[in-house]
Amino acid sequence: MLQIEGLHTHYGAAHILHGVTMLVEAGTSVGLLGRNGMGKTTLIRSLMGYVKPTEGRIQWNDREVTGTPPERMARLGIGYVPEGRGVFPNLSVRENLVMAARPGFDGRRTWTLERVLSTFPRLAERLGHGGQQLSGGEQQMLSIGRALMTNPQLLILDEATEGLAPLVVAEIWRVIGAIRATGIATLVVDRDHRKVSANSDQLVVLQKGRVVLAGPSESLRDSERLTSFLGV
């Protein structure tokens, strides 16, 4: 479904990604791992169109989308939960969700406001609250719910549990598991490699902008090579 081949990305003179190649198949979950500063967020920003790659290509459902603007990528069926959440502080919870609502690329409306609120009961209790009135965990739930309102084929989560309390972290992972069960493909970036391994089919590890390890999560999660690359 998503194929990245030989991707190079620069920030000015800084060469960040060095020939990254990876695949996300329909309905599967891929965990993207690596220590801080290894290129994970740059890879996501490159495939979402926030940063234009200098070399390589990105294909989505067999069509070339390299350098496609973010708004077009979203309309093609990719939901993005960015690091930092990106909640609109002056809009209510309801407004944050409804403003993103649209059918999927194939016309389906599997994720409605009602379904998102049943998935995140805490948001249902705070529909009239502004984004700035929510806790960090509630903002993360809102960010995920807003992405689901676009009825994506692929959901990208960049550091979805960063800085959250343990109980909230457990709730976010529960929801990620529930999303996987619906058949939506996921690309998950998180520092907890054990949770990522347990909630993904494939793992891809970046080191200094290069793929240094890739394969089935089940076979890699306890490997010495994985822990050596992650420094844990």
Confidence at residue 33, expressed as pLDDT on a 0 to 100 scale: 96
Confidence at residue 108, expressed as pLDDT on a 0 to 100 scale: 85
Q: What is the mean pLDDT of each run of 10 residues along the chain (232 residues)?
A: 96 96 95 94 95 96 94 92 87 95 88 95 94 93 95 94 90 91 94 92 96 95 89 67
Give the SS3 label for residue 169. helix
The whole-angstrom separation of Cα 5 and Cα 23 is 9
CATH 3.30.360.10 fits 2-230, yes or no: no
C-alpha triplet 191, 83, 40: angle, nearest 5°? 55
Q: Whole-model pTM above 0.75?
A: yes
Instruction: Report the candidate in 139, 159, 46 with the shortest Cα–Cα distance to residue 91.
Output: 139
The domains of the chain are located at 2-230
Contact 65, 73 (CB under 8 A): yes
Confidence at residue 163, expressed as pLDDT on a 0 to 100 scale: 85
Pairing of strands 29-33, 55-60: unpaired
